[in-house]
């Protein structure tokens, strides 16, 4: 039997997770088959994914009606979490064997705090704790966006023994701050004599959105018609997101091979692996697996949206590609700067846009739940 690419990459130190959740996926046996047959080892969710799942069909209507009957005074946000937590628990249970077999390294499932809290440290901590307790599964990661305001929240949650998926990471500098927060949280626990073994964390570094923005800026330079600038700009199209990720990985290697982290590891701490997110190709002129096949390397995860997961297992090529490209990554980013494109400003904009997009999806979802609740009340559902 041929080994699927999503299983084959494990020999190179990478794991494939699924960037999607839907009740039919859980209850039809489809997710269980992906775990058994294709080596899927984890799952991520976000407000946009839940919006599509809950509003895109009527499969949640019965559960919503039941939740409304049980808690008639519940608001749309409370009803949403009733549905989401039920799904996340089911997914976590399907991955329980993977979690146990991997010693807790994989089999992890993510649930995100409200995007409305992205700039509120205290509220993020409070909601993360509440969600962690409600889900009550050891293989849960609470997703927290990597805004400046959330850095302390990440440190505090790790200190409190809550496993965290840090999301919406776009810049290497912010990644370093996130890794620092992770280690500070672990060090605080260690000083208090608290165990470190059960804590897991990943840093979700976004890929394709970087090229989507930077390519537009490069195309603007090309449109100016200067032959030399055109040549230099064309050489960077579709390359900056991968270069940015490779530099983040280089920092990961330095940070988690340092004497400082080795002290934590000796006490039972685990590395905060880099997770490649937003790896579906947005530009149709690029390979549909550009952001999968170019980022395969040890101690990493790639969470794939459904179409990309199918494509990878259909025609993906598995090879160690992440580390060999590091040497050229810094040069590519230097060339981008020389062309006058500010990557730091671009990543700040991407973070802001990412929070806003998740918030919009979240509000659309709550509005849809409120509308469905009214419809169910009117029809006696």
| SS3 annotation, the chain | CCCCHHHHHHHHCEEEEEECCCHHHHHCCHHHHHHHHHCCCEEECCHHHHHHHHHCCCCCHHHHHHHHHHCCCCCHHHHHHHHHHHHHHHHHHHCHHHHHHCCCCCCEEEEECCHHHCCCHHHHHHHHHHHHHHHCCCCEEEEEECCHHHHHHHHHHHHCCCCEEEEEECCHHHHHHHHHHHHHHHHHHHHCCCCCCCCCEEEEEECHHHHHHHHHHHHHHHHCCCHHHHHHHHCCCCCHHHHHHHHHHHHHHHHHCCHHHHHHHHCCCCCCEEEEECCCCCCCCCCCCHHHHCCCCCCEEEEECHHHHHHHHHHCCCCCCCHHHHHHHHHHHHHHHHCCCCHHHHHHHHHHHHHHHHHHHHHHHHHHHHHHHHHHHHHCC
Query: Model's pTM, two decimal places?
Result: 0.95
Domain membership flag for residue 134? yes
Distances (CA, A) of 170 to 151, 180, 275: 14, 16, 12
Catalytic residue, chosen from 122, 143, 352, 372, is 143
State the distance between the two ends of the chain, measured CA to CA, in whole angstroms. 48
User: What would the two tokens of residue 30 be?
Assistant: 């489809």
Q: Is residue 380 one of the residues assigned to a domain?
A: no
Question: CA 327 to CA 334: how far, in whole Å?
Answer: 12
CA distance 116 to 349: 17
Burial status of residue 240 (CB atoms within 10 A of its CB: 0-12, 13-18, 19 or more):
buried
pLDDT of residue 373: 84
Which pLDDT value is given to residue 104?
96
Contact by Cβ (8 Å): 3, 16 = no
Cα–Cα distance for residue pair 186/182, rounded to 1 Å: 6
- Considering the domain boundaries, does residue 193 fall inside one? yes
In a domain, 179, yes or no: yes
pLDDT of residue 69: 85
Structural domain boundaries, residue 273: 5-375
CATH of the domain at 370: 3.20.20.70
The pLDDT value recorded for residue 177 is 98
Per-residue pLDDT of the chain (381 residues), as tens digits, is: 579 999 999 999 999 999 999 999 999 999 999 999 999 999 999 988 888 888 888 888 888 888 888 888 899 999 999 999 999 999 999 999 999 999 999 999 999 999 999 999 999 999 999 999 999 999 999 999 999 999 999 999 999 999 999 999 999 999 999 999 999 999 999 999 999 999 999 999 999 999 999 999 999 999 999 999 999 999 999 999 999 999 999 999 999 999 999 999 999 999 999 999 999 999 999 999 999 999 999 999 999 999 999 999 999 999 999 999 998 999 999 999 999 999 999 999 999 999 999 999 999 999 988 988 887 766 655
- Total domain count for the chain? 1
According to the model, what pLDDT value does residue 380 have?
Answer: 59
Instruction: Specify whether 143 is catalytic.
Output: yes
Rg for the chain, CA atoms, rounded: 21
Model pLDDT, residue 56: 82
Q: Rounded distance, CA 17 to CA 1, Å?
A: 22
Q: What is the dihedral of CA 48, 154, 330, 326, to 10 degrees?
A: -80
What per-residue confidence (pLDDT) applies to 59? Answer: 87
In a domain, 381, yes or no: no
Distance CA 303, CA 40 (A): 10
pLDDT for position 153: 98
**Is 300 within a domain?**
yes
CA 189 from chain centre, in angstroms, equals 25
CB 68 within 8 A of CB 164: no
| Residue 14 placed within a domain | yes
173 and 344 in contact (C-beta within 8 Å)? yes
């Amino acid at each position: 039997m041929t080994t699927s690419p999503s299983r084959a990459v494990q020999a190179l130190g990478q794991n494939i997770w699924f960037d999607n959740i839907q009740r039919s996926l859980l209850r039809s046996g489809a997710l269980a088959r992906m775990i058994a047959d294709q080596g899927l080892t984890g799952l991520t969710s976000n407000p946009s994914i839940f919006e599509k799942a809950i509003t895109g069909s009527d499969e949640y209507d019965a559960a919503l009606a039941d939740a409304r009957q049980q808690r008639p005074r519940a608001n749309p946000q409370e009803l949403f979490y009733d549905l989401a937590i039920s799904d996340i628990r089911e997914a976590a249970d399907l991955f329980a064997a993977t979690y146990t077999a991997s010693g807790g390294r994989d089999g992890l499932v993510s649930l995100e705090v409200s995007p409305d809290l992205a700039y509120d440290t205290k509220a993020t901590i409070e909601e993360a704790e509440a969600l962690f307790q409600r889900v009550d599964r050891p293989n849960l990661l609470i997703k927290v966006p990597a805004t400046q305001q959330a850095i302390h929240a990440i440190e505090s949650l790790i200190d409190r023994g809550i496993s965290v998926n840090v999301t919406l990471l776009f810049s290497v500098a912010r990644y370093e701050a996130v890794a620092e927060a992770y280690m500070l949280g672990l060090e605080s626990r260690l000083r208090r004599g608290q165990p470190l073994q059960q804590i897991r964390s990943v840093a979700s570094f976004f890929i394709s959105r970087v090229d989507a923005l930077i390519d537009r800026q490069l195309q603007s330079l090309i449109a100016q018609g200067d032959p030399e600038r055109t040549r230099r700009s064309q050489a960077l199209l579709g390359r900056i997101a991968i270069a940015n990720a490779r530099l983040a990985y280089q920092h990961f290697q330095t940070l988690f091979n340092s004497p400082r982290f080795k002290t934590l590891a000796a006490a039972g701490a685990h590395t905060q692996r880099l997770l490649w997110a937003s790896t579906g190709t947005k530009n149709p002129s690029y390979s549909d697996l550009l952001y999968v096949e170019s980022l395969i390397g040890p101690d990493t995860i790639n969470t794939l949206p459904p179409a990309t997961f199918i494509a990878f297992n259909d025609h993906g090529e598995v090879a160690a590609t992440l580390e060999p490209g590091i040497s050229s990554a810094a040069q590519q980013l230097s060339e981008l700067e020389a062309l006058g494109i500010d990557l730091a400003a671009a990543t700040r904009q991407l973070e802001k846009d990412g929070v806003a997009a998740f918030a919009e999806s979240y509000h659309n979802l709550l509005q849809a739940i409120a509308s469905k609740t009214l419809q169910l009340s009117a029809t006696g559902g």
